[in-house]
Structure formats: C-alpha cells, structure tokens
C-alpha cells in the first residue's frame, strides 16, 4: 500500500512526494528533523518533540512557516492518513529550495515533510542479551560548532561513528566530546548505573536532549532511584555496574559489552530491566 506523505501544505501520494535537487537540506544538510514514536495511535511526547524542533529551528535561524499547533496537527493528520497504530514519524524541515551557493537567504520557503511509517526495532534477542558496543574515534561535534542539541540534518559525525561500530559487527558506538568526556551514542543517549545510582552525561557534554532520556530520568526518580547528570570518562563506562541506551527507536536497551570489556553481569542488569519495564508500562498507558 502506498503511503501518504505530508509535503508542505498537503498530503500527497508517496510517488509524488519528491524534493528539488536544489533544496539546501540536500545540498548542505541545512535543516532539522525529529523522530517520534506512535504508540496505540497516539503520538508519544508530541509536545516535547515539537518544542525541540522549534528550538532547533531558532538555533539555526530557520523560520518554520507554520505554528507549532499547526505542526502538531499535520503530524496527527499524517499518522491518521496512514492508519499508523504503532509506528514512527519522521518530521523534516529543510531550508528549502535555493541556488547552488551556501547563502541560505536564497532559499525562499522552508520545506516541511512528514512521513508516518512502521518501524523495525532491534530484535527482541538483543534486548534480552544486551548490545555489544565500542567507543568511537570520531569525536562528537563541538558545542560551539552546531550544538548537539540541534537535531540537524548534519549527521555525518554520527554516521562515521556508526560505521566504526558496523565495521566490527556492532550496532552502536559511544561518542566522546572534544574534552574526552562521554557525549552519547550515535543515535541514543547513554546511562550507567554505579552502586545503585544512575548517571548520564549532562546535555552540555555534547548530547541531544533526548526525549526518551527525559522520560527515563523522570520514571527512574519516581521509582526512587537517584539520577545524576555528570561528566563521565571512558573509565566510568568501563567500570560501571550497568549501562543502557535510550532513544525513540531503541527505547531502553541494555549494554553487555563495551570495547571488549564485559559490563556488569554481561547482560542487562537489574535496574536496566526494571527501567525498561517501567518505560514499557508508561508507553502502554
């Protein structure tokens, strides 16, 4: 069945959902995006995603030609038009069509694209066993460059780090910032557990302010765990009791090995499993 895609001001058939080769999103990665889950027909943490999109737009001086309320509505419309009960929404705003030069002022109207589709998750087995991951050599982009809080269409650093992992037959890699502190994984935030306490790098360490991260921190605190945002070094990861990643696609997934070192008991630990269960319950309510 062909999908309906939201393109600027209307739903169009997938075959007609095409963009210009002069779009600066394509030419320069000039734009921003969101990846949002749909659970039981409901857009998960919808407002948080829309807010993050608009904050990113402001940071890169892109005026989205639509109010956040209208944006919220077109996401719902696209989800409904494709009968998505459980799935994934990709929301993209590019600088739009301009000329071949860098100058973004040549772009007249930002282009808005909403895709509502199904999603392929990590196989269940990996949630049971935990992910084996590595530390990437590719450094997370400097916060004074494009702030990692901006979910921009420039994902090359993350892609290079992802390739480092894939080269070793793994799916994820930890990225460090220019100071050597842990930033995040290539498409997920990272948490560790040490002596029953949860730690995650502060956003200022070079992480995306992940919506799943926020939800997990809240659920953990409600469950009585202490959660601290703290700069973490590679040693902290190598010597922790548990490690897990969070993201819209992965949800909460345990890590069993980092850089050839077994993490904790070599499979998702007790607190990781508890938080995964709490997250599961939260998305189903």
Of 187, 254, 264, 268, which lies in the binding site for ligand PMP, with binding defined by CB under 6 A?
A: 187
Min dist CB 34 to ligand PMP, Å, is 8
Q: How many residues bind ligand PMP (CB under 6 A)?
A: 14
Of 188, 192, 220, 264, which lies in the binding site for ligand PMP, with binding defined by CB under 6 A?
A: 188
Q: Quickly count: other Cβ atoms within 10 Å of residue 196's Cβ.
A: 11
Min dist CB 272 to ligand PMP, Å, is 16
Told to check if 172 binds ligand PMP by CB under 6 A, we report no
Told to check if 75 binds ligand PMP by CB under 6 A, we report no
Told to check if 189 binds ligand PMP by CB under 6 A, we report yes
- For residue 249, count CB atoms less than 10 angstroms from its CB and return exposed for 0-12, middle for 13-18, buried for 19 or more: middle
Q: Which tokens sit at 119? A: 């999603």
Instruction: Tell me, yes or no, if 151 is annotated catalytic.
Output: yes
Told to check if 210 binds ligand PMP by CB under 6 A, we report yes
Of 78, 82, 138, 158, which lies in the binding site for ligand PMP, with binding defined by CB under 6 A?
A: 158
Q: Which of 10, 151, 267, 281 is catalytic?
A: 151
Told to check if 247 binds ligand PMP by CB under 6 A, we report yes
- For residue 163, count CB atoms less than 10 angstroms from its CB and return exposed for 0-12, middle for 13-18, buried for 19 or more: middle
- For residue 48, count CB atoms less than 10 angstroms from its CB and return exposed for 0-12, middle for 13-18, buried for 19 or more: middle
Told to check if 256 binds ligand PMP by CB under 6 A, we report no
Nearer to ligand PMP, 97 or 198 (CB): 198
Told to check if 25 binds ligand PMP by CB under 6 A, we report no
Cβ 205 vs Cβ 182: under 8 Å: yes
Min dist CB 105 to ligand PMP, Å, is 28
- φ/ψ of 42, rounded to 5, equals -110, 135
Piece of the chain touching ligand PMP by CB under 6 A; list 122-130, 211-219, 221-229, 252-260: 211-219
Of 26, 29, 35, 142, which lies in the binding site for ligand PMP, with binding defined by CB under 6 A?
A: 35
Piece of the chain touching ligand PMP by CB under 6 A; list 9-17, 67-75, 244-252, 267-275: 244-252
Nearer to ligand PMP, 92 or 211 (CB): 211
Told to check if 248 binds ligand PMP by CB under 6 A, we report yes
Distance CA 231, CA 183 (A): 9
Told to check if 208 binds ligand PMP by CB under 6 A, we report yes
Task: List active site positions.
Answer: 151
Q: What are the residues binding ligand PMP (CB under 6 A)?
A: 35, 158, 184, 187-189, 208, 210-213, 246-248
């Amino acid at each position: 069945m062909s999908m309906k895609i939201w393109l600027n001001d209307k739903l169009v058939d997938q075959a007609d959902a095409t963009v210009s080769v002069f779009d600066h999103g394509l030419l320069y990665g000039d734009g921003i995006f969101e990846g949002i889950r749909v659970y039981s027909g409901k857009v998960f943490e919808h407002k948080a995603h829309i807010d993050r999109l608009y904050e990113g737009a402001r940071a890169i001086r892109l005026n989205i030609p639509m109010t956040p309320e209208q944006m919220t509505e077109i996401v719902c419309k696209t989800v409904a038009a494709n009968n998505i009960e459980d799935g994934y929404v990709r929301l993209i705003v590019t600088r739009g069509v301009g000329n071949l030069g860098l100058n973004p002022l040549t772009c007249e109207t930002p282009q808005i694209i909403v895709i509502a589709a199904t999603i392929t998750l990590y196989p269940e087995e990996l949630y049971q066993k935990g992910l084996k991951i590595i530390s990437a050599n590719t450094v997370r982009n400097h916060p004074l460059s494009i702030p990692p809080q901006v979910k921009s269409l420039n994902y090359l650093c993350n892609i290079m780090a992802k390739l480092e992992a894939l080269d070793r037959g793994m799916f994820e890699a930890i990225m460090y910032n220019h100071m050597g502190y842990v930033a995040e994984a290539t498409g997920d935030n990272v948490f560790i557990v040490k002596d029953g306490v949860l730690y995650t790098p502060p956003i200022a360490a070079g992480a995306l302010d992940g919506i799943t991260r926020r939800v997990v921190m809240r659920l953990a605190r409600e469950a009585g765990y202490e959660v601290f945002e703290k700069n973490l070094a590679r040693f902290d990861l190598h010597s922790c009791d548990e490690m897990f990643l969070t993201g819209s696609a992965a949800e909460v997934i345990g890590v069993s090995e980092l850089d050839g070192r077994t993490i904790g008991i070599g499979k998702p630990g007790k607190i990781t499993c508890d938080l995964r269960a709490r997250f599961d319950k939260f998305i189903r309510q």
